[in-house]
Amino acid sequence: MAPDLILHIGQSKTGTSSIQRVLGARRPALAKLGVCYPAAPGWANHGMLPASLVSLDRLGHFNPALWEGIGAAARLDRFRRDFAAEMAALPATTRLIILSAEQCGGLLNTPEEVGRLRDLLAPLARRLRVVVYLRRQDQHFASGYTQALRIAQINPPTMPQAGPERLGQYDYARLLDLWAGIFGADALLVRIFERDLLRNGDAVDDFLALCGIDLAVPQDDPDRQSNLSLTPGGIDLLRSMGAWMKATPQGLSAASPLWRRFVQAASETLPGRGWRPHPAEAAAFLGRFEAVNEAVRRRWFPDRPRLFAPLEVPEGPPPGAGPPPVDQAAALQAALALLEREMRVGAEREANQHAAIGRLHERLGESGPARTAYRAALRAVPDHPVAQQQLAEMALADGDRTTAMAHLAVLQRAHPDQAATRRLAQRLGTPAT
């Protein structure tokens, strides 16, 4: 019997990256449960799937690294072959296929485009279902501001002066009508992205429950923490760096490897809540979608008094006109934190390289060069565990217990829980700390 298929189309900024990373990292465990999370469309995000159904000129915002150096056309042709082969090779025990790509909602905008996707997937499954999470428009736009910065759109943070007629991505009634018209209303599983309405207040747990998958994912699992926003200082830093790069001869581009490396480093160093508009500004924006949201409520959530939780607007005057300027002091503090982290990461990378060279010299029986390499590692990172351990072992081999004990003292202070530290302590007859 053919498996069921669940197509998760987003929206973006509703925990999609976390869901995708959790699923991508657990393919073997899912396979044991009879669930296939295909690899051909992407390791985590299955963006190749909708990308293969539109013209190439629509893919300018895609990360160029996805094309793996062979260009979009050739890479998408390979995806089509690989995906067909992967689906043909599904084991008989597969009961469910899951596909997840928030780009579906952004790229596939016409009945013809959505119909091409349905025609591609229908032969694979006995039943198709489409999962979509809806987030209140003001929250979604504010959350997406950081993502816009990441793709080199360095506009100042402010809510747009437009409604559904120009911001079609926020016309949820049209979105749901489009997909229901192609897949059928009964196939749509529509969820509201609000903590009180999600299983355990979490998008990953909610999606797994929706799919009927009994898979334990610890709350502190790093895959749950994906695509985080930035601190206010981090946002100001990206705005400042973007403006500076824009004025350089090479210019600013989302495709720039330099910009992407900078954004990744800033995201890892400065995670935060992102930009938050003034409630009065958010309320004015949200009010333009009142009719759209009421249409969605009537059709899909008739038992709810309103589609989304209300926005609380405090009393008092609204903020001053115009977007906020860059806070140079906050940008500087963020830059210093980023610089410190990059220096530390660089030192660790250098130390690891020296330690690897030391291990190679040891395998070749060259103890002198090995010691030199390990000591170079310690100049970069004084408590580097491999270098400290190997130098201690070499000292023991030479009968120099005093030096070995000195290295052990560093390991016990800096890396007390490592197995190598405990083994060395046992060899030296020293109680573990």
What's the pLDDT tens digit per position in 60-78? 878 777 898 899 999 999 9
For helices 172-183 and 111-121, the axis angle rounded to 10 degrees is 40
pLDDT above 60: residue 114: yes
Higher pLDDT, 20 or 254: 20
- Structure token pair of residue 161: 């002066």
DSSP β-bridge partners for residue 190: 132
**For position 407, which CATH number holds?**
1.25.40.10
Domain count, the chain: 2
At 220 the pLDDT is 86
User: Rounded CA gap, 371 and 361, in Å?
Assistant: 9
Domain of residue 128: give its range. 4-136+163-226
Q: Specify the length of the chain in residues.
A: 433
- Structure token pair of residue 367: 């103890």
Give per-residue burial for 270-298: e unless 16+ CB within 10 Å, then b.
Answer: bebebbebbbbbbbbbbebbeebbebbbe
Share of the chain above pLDDT 70, in %: 97
**3-state secondary structure at position 200:** helix
DSSP 315-356: SSPPPPSSPPPP-HHHHHHHHHHHHHHHHHHHHHHHHHHHHH
- The mean pLDDT value for 231-257 works out to 91
**253 pLDDT tier (thresholds 50, 70, 90):** confident
By the 8 A CB rule, do 384 and 351 touch? yes
**324 pLDDT tier (thresholds 50, 70, 90):** confident
Q: Is 203 inside a domain boundary?
A: yes
pLDDT above 60: residue 85: yes
**For position 32, which CATH number holds?**
3.40.50
At 61 the pLDDT is 78
pTM: 0.80
**DSSP code at position 13:** T
Q: Is 321 inside a domain boundary?
A: no
At 431 the pLDDT is 67
Q: Is 154 inside a domain boundary?
A: no
- The mean pLDDT value for 376-405 works out to 94
What's the pLDDT tens digit per position in 267-310? 989 999 889 898 999 999 999 999 999 999 999 999 999 999 99
Indicate the residue among 226, 248, 267 that finishes a domain. Answer: 226
By the 8 A CB rule, do 296 and 172 touch? yes
Q: Is 200 inside a domain boundary?
A: yes
How open is the CA angle 185-187-189, to the nearest 5 degrees? 95
Q: Is 289 inside a domain boundary?
A: no
At 317 the pLDDT is 63
How open is the CA angle 92-102-151, to the nearest 5 degrees? 135
Q: Is 383 inside a domain boundary?
A: yes
Alpha helices in 153-202 (DSSP H): 172-183
User: Rounded CA gap, 387 and 393, in Å?
Assistant: 10
User: Rounded CA gap, 286 and 282, in Å?
Assistant: 6
Q: Which of 177-181, 240-244, 313-317 has the lowest mean pLDDT?
A: 313-317
Q: Is 264 inside a domain boundary?
A: no
pLDDT above 80: residue 227: no
Q: Tell me which H or E stretch contains 86.
A: helix 72-88
At 228 the pLDDT is 76
By the 8 A CB rule, do 5 and 129 touch? yes
- Structure token pair of residue 104: 């579906």
- The mean pLDDT value for 349-365 works out to 96
Share of the chain above pLDDT 90, in %: 78
Indicate the residue among 226, 243, 278 that finishes a domain. Answer: 226
Instruction: Enumerate residues 6+ apart whose C-beta is below 8 A from 399.
Output: none
User: Rounded CA gap, 105 and 114, in Å?
Assistant: 9
User: Rounded CA gap, 294 and 317, in Å?
Assistant: 28
Q: Is 157 inside a domain boundary?
A: no
Same domain, 216 and 357: no
Indicate the residue among 226, 253, 276 that finishes a domain. Answer: 226
